[in-house]
Amino acid sequence: MANIFQRLIPYKSPIQLLVEHAQLCVRAGELMEQAVKDYFMNMEISSISTLIDELEDEADAIKLKLREIYSKLKWTYFNKNDFLDLLHNIDSIIDLTDDVLKMLTMNNIENVPQDVKNDVLKLAELVKMSIKHMYENVEELRTLIESAFSPREIRKEDQQAEVVEKEEHSSDLLGIEIGKRLFSLKNSMNAVDIMFLNSVVILLMRIEDRAKNVVEKVRLISHT
């Protein structure tokens, strides 16, 4: 007969699963940055797209397991809806990176000025860094729980959230700059390519936005 503890307490820690899920986002972010670089160098990116696809499947499996465990739990560290909303936001990051890759495989752009390429690359790098900081913020939840929601650890979470919020603001500004620059090229660059690249930029900004949503959610759940 299973011991009562094994029956009362979930076999796998939900927070551990959440951290593992966020870790997959970090890997996806790194791959996406690499894909953007390769794309501008006219290199094949379909293999990277496949890898991100696999990461997405892995993330979906974790999400399902997490939902299953959470639905059976009576007392949880956080409000169940807030936690599932946090999971949804983390999950959408990996979905959006997959969208970026899929989009890049659809079209090859021509005659893009180097400064635009550099700015898009810079944006991709910023997004990657924000995902990484978002992951650290999620991982810090473990320490927060271990400390029984110590005010010191809550402050640390808040500081980490501010970093991502600032990064999101910088990315927004950069994204708008890239957009303006792209549309200023309407007479010299293919219009479809302009719209295409602008859509990629918007997707990248959306990932950054999701990372910010995650840290905001973490801040919310750690204060309640």
Q: Residues interacting with another protein, by CB under 8 A?
A: 1-16, 72-77, 143, 146-152
Contact 201, 121 (CB under 8 A): no
> Residue 163 CB, nearest distance to another protein (Å)?
20
CB of 66 to another protein, least distance (A): 12
CB of 62 to another protein, least distance (A): 15
For the beta carbon of residue 187, count every other beta carbon within 10 angstroms. Answer: 6
The span from the CA of 62 to the CA of 152, in Å, is 30
Length of the chain: 224
Closer CB to another protein, 6 or 118, in the complex: 6
Q: CB atoms < 10 A from the CB of 179, how many?
A: 16
Report the C-alpha gap between 181 and 179 in whole angstroms: 5
Which one, 74 or 180, has the nearer CB to another protein? 74
CA atoms of 27 and 55, how far apart (whole Å)? 8
Q: Could you tell me the smallest distance in angstroms from the CB atom of residue 150 to another protein?
A: 5
Residue 77 or 177 having the CB closest to another protein: 77
Residue 145's CB is within 10 A of a number of other CB atoms, namely 16
Instruction: Give me the least distance between CB of 175 and another protein, in Å please.
Output: 38
State both tokens at 176: 């708008």
Q: Which is nearer to another protein, 13 or 199 (CB)?
A: 13
- Yes or no: say if 52 and 97 are a contact pair by the CB < 8 Å rule: yes
Nearest to another protein of 41, 151 (CB atom)? 151
